[in-house]
Amino acid sequence: MSEASVESGQGARRGPAQGLTLGDVERRLGVKDDGRPGPLVLITAGLHGNEPAGVAAARRVIAELEGRPTAGRVVALAGNLGALRRGERHGGQDLNRLWTGPILAALREQDPAADRPDEAELRELLGILEGERELARGTGREVLLLDLHSTSAGGGPFSVVPDVVASRRLARAIGLPVVLGLEQRIEGPLLTWIVGQGEVGVVLEGGQHEDPQTEGVLAHALRVALDHAGVTHTDRASARRSRAHIDTIRGGVPPVLDMVYAQPVEPGDGFVMEPGWSNFKPVCAGQALGLQQGEVVQAPIDSYMLMPLYQGLGSEGFFLCTPVGRVWLVASRVVRRLRLDLALRLLPGVRAVRRAGTGVVCSPGTSPRTESWLALFGYRTSTVDGDQVIWTRRRAG
């Protein structure tokens, strides 16, 4: 998915990664369907055209499936064809920020002849994804999305999931560090749209755009995901090798982290990140992390670094993550399954819990303790409505 801060301002003029020559990119990178029951696995790659490693990884893994018996249906799609050909992030509109209700509704009303280049890509991709989902619904298949990306920042790869139990489970099976709390900060990614439809979805950030290892990391993650989904259940050896490789990549990084802090950056701030930071490097409270408006920026808490801003312009200078413990993960699964949302009324600052868990109404300025309880139940997104704040969670918690 790659935060705006990671990729903005540096994709427009950059060519494809060195050593990776994509050639002409087709929308359907590959389909594998032996007609056996099983899930529908949708693989999307290159929603950002300056991220060719995902396209190469998807092609490689689909080719590996040839001649092997598989269950279910695997469809790999390229995202922004025009931008991939040009080696640019997008053609004016970010294809991974357009998956909102209002934008998609306007697109359906619009004459296709009036589509701007990225809107035409969106229309075609949406049509294919909806067609595949429709077919899957008819046959009762589970639907999973694996959306492949890479970042400008160096450091370890990771996965991004909304805090929904089924998507968390898939991301944990893959084994890359799982980052919660990031997806809801971004407006309009494909991941949010697909999970909003009740499906399972994970974004895989395979590493730096130019790093020759990024394609391999994404291929390992795909093999493990296909094994977990039951697609390649007859031969699990390569998935086991890939999973072992991912474990060595993750090293000592906690398996699940919550993004708890973002350093805001405004144009003209003169924000400069201290050199030497990369993803998942441990951070101590009070440590100097950068300079902003001539002042030293200090870490507010003990944490782990994520996506330090070294290139281009971004709206965040860095993100900080804290580990999520096993107890929290189990407790969140249990309270969500048992639908104990009404108990949230007992928390200070909570005025009402809406029926069927569609929202929690709070007073403004809810305490961090109340917010952490709301997060346990999956309520992570807040909107201000007059003198109240409404917290909502994803469908299927």
Q: Using CB under 5 A, list all residues that contact Zn ion.
A: 2, 48, 149
Asked if residues 144 and 199 have their Cβ atoms less than 8 Å apart, the reply is yes
* Closest CB to Zn ion among residues 315, 322: 315
* Closest CB to Zn ion among residues 191, 219: 191
Nearest approach in angstroms of CB 118 to Zn ion is 14
Nearest approach in angstroms of CB 7 to Zn ion is 6
Nearest approach in angstroms of CB 290 to Zn ion is 23
**Cβ neighbours of residue 314 closer than 8 Å, sequence gap 6 or more:** 3, 4, 5, 6, 8, 9, 265
Residues in the chain, overall count: 397
* Closest CB to Zn ion among residues 136, 203: 203
Alpha-helical regions (H) of the chain? 4-7, 52-65, 81-86, 101-109, 117-139, 165-174, 190-196, 213-228, 237-250, 326-337, 368-376
Q: Can you name the residues that pair with 288 across neighbouring β-strands?
A: 298
* Closest CB to Zn ion among residues 73, 209: 209
Give Cα separations from 113 to 26, 109, 116, 119, 120 (angstroms): 21, 12, 9, 10, 9
Nearest approach in angstroms of CB 139 to Zn ion is 31
Determine phi and psi for 202, rounding to 5 degrees. Answer: -140, 135
DSSP 8-27: TTTSTT--SPTT----SPPS
Report the side by side order of strands in the sheet with 350-353.
350-353, 360-362, 388-392, 381-385
* Closest CB to Zn ion among residues 213, 367: 213
Asked if residues 137 and 191 have their Cβ atoms less than 8 Å apart, the reply is no
* Closest CB to Zn ion among residues 73, 149: 149
Tell me whether residue 285 is exposed, middle or buried, using C-beta atoms within 10 angstroms of its C-beta: 0 to 12, 13 to 18, 19 or more. exposed
* Closest CB to Zn ion among residues 316, 341: 316
Residue of closest CB approach to Zn ion: 2
Sign of the dihedral defined by the CA atoms of residues 210, 216, 220, 223, in that order? positive
Cβ of 81: how many Cβ atoms within 10 Å?
20
Nearest approach in angstroms of CB 356 to Zn ion is 34
Nearest approach in angstroms of CB 152 to Zn ion is 9
* Closest CB to Zn ion among residues 79, 181: 79
Nearest approach in angstroms of CB 299 to Zn ion is 26
Nearest approach in angstroms of CB 277 to Zn ion is 20
